Chains A and B, each alone.
Chain A
């Protein structure tokens, strides 16, 4: 009996559990969290955002829970405008409450990338949970309700302590599309409270619910390669799906849970064949013929 209760045996048992059940032990985030999803028309259309964005609480992708216990639920967006000090200007957004999800309507009257941040708080088991959901997408808002800069606003609550995710926009070789694609790596950098979120585990959950963990580098960077969509054959090429990057940080009695939704298209770049030499031959031929014709025309 004594033998079985030594530290050594406990360690072996723990290792056994970790090996046999790697997924639940390593990948799950037990607590609920907030995440953002674009309107379904975005997913089936041209990867240009409509104005409706949904906030969900629970576990991505399908476990959506009631969010009435959350307080200080605020939404802000930025379109890249900066103030005199070089920091981004955020605009507050109205949230329309629903039972299991909230809706945000955004119409910034521009055609650009926008970044949306939703923050909320919850007190549970003597702990304070701070949620932060982020989304960056392309939006076209040129008509409809006019853009009212509803007063530049400093995001309230614990926003300043929230996560800041930078998704680097690296062009895929031989590709024109501005949208991110599956199977191509995405480089991201995470900051928490302005400092690099270094050497931390990040959980990434895809649409099918599968998750994987990655570790951030010293400067908070990591590279994620999104898996191919298994339902690609059924889905149109320009259909988009989100993967969710989850990050967690504990500070005293507070727990910070952040999520960043990233949308990827199913568009297959590899199938397109690009011939640069042929293009250059046509370009140089066109240049030579035009040069000759224009030169000749000047002599008329």
Chain B
């Protein structure tokens, strides 16, 4: 229970810091994916994707060098630093923070946990995925990873328009604006942007259904998780199990938000950190016996 409370406090603090930190002058969303949108009335910082938005004229202090710059030159010279900053964040998130980002820091994961907590209070029953269902859902994260990088391309290739192409179908906007009482994103726009507004409504409906049905649904299809899998980086974090102490009660598997069954089935002493694990450490917290599962940092016992 101690880990659970600590994690809740950390999640809440990180959520407040990352999402509302701009009010304190901390502008994180210039380089990491956060829920901030210039369309919000309470907007206080930029969306992390906006620096990728292509405009006809660049933003160098030497405008004469920018005008009419061809595509590759534009990418390297004008947006090089924005790319570097963002991908540096991705490398740190994937390689160093790794799964701890998902379970402890990710604001969208925290939001899903909060929704889960409210649903539990109202005794709303969630679905659980069968192995086959999981098998079908898993590849979607790679599709989302492709879309994630396509978002940059949509912004880069979007051309000099007032509103970037990606903004028109951005799923974050669908939820940030209604939180302020603005239902405009749920309108179909005629005669321009009709297709984009329809797609936006469809995405919003899907996201809402998924959040309501399953805790941490989006962790199953998260593009960052796909990136972690592809790079297969697990430099610092380990989860060791001592099968001699385990009484096979399967409590760990029952409480796992990612429904990882292997954690209870594993009979040999080894690293049991699953590919889907978000390092929430619920399995350790709920285990009736002490010292069965232990987290390791830098291969040393934490």
* Pair A143/B80 contact, Cβ less than 8 Å: yes
A107 is an interface residue with CB less than 8 A from chain B: yes
B204 is an interface residue with CB less than 8 A from chain A: yes
**Shortest CB–CB separation between residue B214 and chain A, in angstroms?**
7
Q: Which residues of A contact B30 (CB under 8 A)?
A: 110-111
Q: Which residues of B contact A279 (CB under 8 A)?
A: 186-188, 197, 201
Chain A contact residue count (CB 8 A cutoff): 58
**Shortest CB–CB separation between residue A295 and chain B, in angstroms?**
6
The CA of A175 and the CA of B183, in the complex, are separated in Å by: 11
Contact of B55 among A48, A169, A275, A285 (CB under 8 A): A48
**Shortest CB–CB separation between residue B60 and chain A, in angstroms?**
4
Instruction: State which residues 46-81 of B face A: CB under 8 Å.
Output: 46, 50-51, 53, 55-63, 67, 77-81
B129 is an interface residue with CB less than 8 A from chain A: yes
The CA of A243 and the CA of B44, in the complex, are separated in Å by: 25
Known: A140-B51, A300-B132. A50 touches B162 (CB 8 A): no
* Pair B186/A276 contact, Cβ less than 8 Å: yes
Known: A41-B57, A143-B78, A287-B209. A274 touches B188 (CB 8 A): yes
A213 is an interface residue with CB less than 8 A from chain B: no
Interface residues on chain B, size class:
35 or more
* Pair B27/A110 contact, Cβ less than 8 Å: yes
B1 is an interface residue with CB less than 8 A from chain A: no
Contact of A297 among B25, B53, B82, B129 (CB under 8 A): B129
* Pair A179/B182 contact, Cβ less than 8 Å: no
* Pair A46/B187 contact, Cβ less than 8 Å: no
A51 is an interface residue with CB less than 8 A from chain B: yes
Q: Which residue of B lies closest to A171 (CB)?
A: B41
Q: Which residue of B lies closest to A179 (CB)?
A: B162
Contact of B46 among A47, A111, A174 (CB under 8 A): A111
* Pair B50/A111 contact, Cβ less than 8 Å: yes
Known: A45-B55, A50-B57, A294-B127. A286 touches B190 (CB 8 A): no
Instruction: State which residues 91-115 of A face B: CB under 8 Å.
Output: 105, 107, 110-112
A sample of 8 cross-chain residue pairs with beta-carbon separation below 8 angstroms, ordered by A number, consists of A140-B50, A141-B59, A143-B60, A144-B59, A176-B39, A274-B189, A291-B209, A300-B130
Give me 15 other A-B pairs in contact (C-beta within 8 A), A142-B82, A143-B60 excluded: A39-B63, A45-B55, A45-B160, A51-B63, A80-B44, A142-B51, A143-B77, A169-B41, A275-B188, A279-B197, A287-B209, A290-B208, A294-B210, A298-B127, A300-B132
